[in-house]
């Protein structure tokens, strides 16, 4: 098309003005894609680690269990149903019994959650196999955060005080046999893990559990009178909602970036239309319709977006690829934010993210380019020949 050729020549002849617009737009492209990839990476890593270490393929909760209500733990236990027991026997699920307890590290009292798990289970990737010991002391598994916060190390002894099913207090001596390095803080902070059978004996709850974690490939699930099924999506809802809220907040950054880029394009187009009055008049006098002249200036503005995408690809692709391969170092403070992250975060850049960002920016650039150019449509032939813009 003639308009496209003229638009390209005009952009090239504009020189520095064009490059300033292109650079600003390319930075907008790269920052939006990088930022969205950052959130996608957090969501992917958090979901993966939580499924692997805590959620599994879903869970059955005892009817009164509420993880956000510690008081409910006293009544949140019951006999495992025959259906669930059959799944456990087939290694398709593993039960967990949860009780409130207290420990006394370094002479001070601390409330914790005591969790019993089968040392032979393969449903979750936590190192429960370390609980298979023949020592006299009760074997204890703790997380890295719990160990750091309480100055615990392998071989340390802990006194655990808890109540049994008859509300009688009991105390047992335990020894730390393993410190697990898990990214999931919800199975780490303020928690101790011990063998399920020994915990059932201590609290006199033989054959009982608080929840049952299912394997990834278990299907055909339904509720029972005492056990309620919680699907994987529901168990991951909290982390998904947090990421969604962060993405919404990031829209403010995108609006600022787009506003700066669009302001540059708009000012350039207004200046271009004003300075090229005689050129516009000449084009109309030579027979180019006003609509085609408007299209010419709109194409010029839109081409800024195309060139910006190409320039952004030149320096943006290496940056995005390097961060995706090497990751982004995460500070230790992330542990306290509830995200299943530690070490490096690996952003996730999807084709939909890249294409969607380009389309949104291109549409915005085209609209902003059209607005000042639309004044040309109201030109009268005599004014055009005089080089006047009404």
Query: pLDDT value at position 362?
Result: 85
Query: pLDDT value at position 69?
Result: 85
Query: pLDDT value at position 250?
Result: 76
Query: pLDDT value at position 59?
Result: 92
Query: pLDDT value at position 115?
Result: 95
Q: What is the CA radius of gyration of the chain?
A: 32
Q: HEC states along 132-168?
A: CCCCCCEEEEEEHHHHHHCCCCCCCEEEEEEECCCCC
Query: pLDDT value at position 101?
Result: 92
Taking every pair of Cα atoms in the chain, the longest distance, rounded to a whole number of angstroms, is 104
How does 271-294 read in b/e, with b if 16+ C-beta sit within 10 Å? ebbeebbebbbebbeeebebebbb
Q: Are 18 and 311 in contact (CB under 8 A)?
A: no
Query: pLDDT value at position 382?
Result: 61
> Given the DSSP bridges, would you call strands 208-209 and 169-180 parallel, antiparallel or unpaired?
unpaired
For residue 76, count CB atoms less than 10 angstroms from its CB and return exposed for 0-12, middle for 13-18, buried for 19 or more. buried
| Regions in the chain scoring below 50 on pLDDT | none
């Amino acid at each position: 098309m003639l308009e496209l050729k003229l638009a390209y020549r005009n952009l090239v002849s504009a020189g520095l003005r064009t490059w300033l617009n292109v650079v600003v737009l390319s930075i907008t492209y790269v920052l939006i894609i990088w930022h969205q990839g950052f959130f996608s990476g957090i969501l992917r890593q958090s979901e993966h680690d939580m499924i692997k270490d805590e959620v599994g393929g879903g869970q059955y909760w005892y009817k009164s269990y509420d993880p956000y209500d510690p008081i409910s733990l006293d009544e949140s236990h019951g006999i495992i149903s025959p259906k669930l027991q059959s799944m456990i026997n087939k290694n398709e699920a593993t039960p967990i019994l949860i009780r409130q307890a207290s420990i006394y590290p370094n002479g001070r009292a601390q409330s914790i959650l005591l969790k019993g798990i089968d040392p032979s289970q393969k449903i979750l990737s936590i190192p429960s196999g370390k609980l298979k010991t023949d020592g006299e002391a009760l074997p204890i598994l703790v997380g890295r955060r719990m160990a750091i916060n309480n100055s615990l190390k392998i071989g340390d002894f802990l006194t655990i005080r808890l109540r049994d099913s008859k509300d009688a207090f009991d105390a047992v001596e335990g020894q730390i046999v393993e410190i697990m390095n898990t990214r999931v803080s919800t199975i780490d902070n303020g928690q101790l893990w011990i063998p399920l059978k020994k915990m059932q004996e201590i609290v006199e709850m033989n054959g009982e559990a608080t929840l049952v974690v299912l394997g990834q490939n278990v299907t055909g699930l339904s509720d029972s009178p005492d056990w309620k099924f919680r699907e994987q999506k529901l168990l991951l809802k909290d982390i998904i909602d947090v990421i969604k809220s962060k993405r919404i907040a990031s829209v403010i950054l995108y609006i600022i970036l787009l506003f700066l880029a669009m302001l540059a394009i708009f000012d350039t187009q207004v200046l271009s239309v004003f300075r090229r009055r005689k050129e516009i008049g000449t084009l109309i006098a030579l027979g180019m319709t006003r609509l085609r002249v408007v299209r010419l200036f709109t194409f010029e503005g839109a081409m800024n977006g195309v060139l910006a995408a190409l320039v952004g690809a030149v320096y943006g692709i290496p940056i995005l690829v390097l961060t995706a391969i090497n990751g982004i170092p995460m500070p230790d403070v992330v542990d306290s934010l509830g995200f299943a992250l530690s070490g490096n975060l690996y952003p996730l850049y999807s084709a939909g993210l890249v294409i969607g960002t380009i389309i949104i920016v291109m549409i915005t650039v085209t609209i902003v380019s059209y607005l000042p150019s639309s004044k040309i449509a109201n030109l009268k032939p005599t004014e055009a020949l005089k080089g006047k813009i009404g």
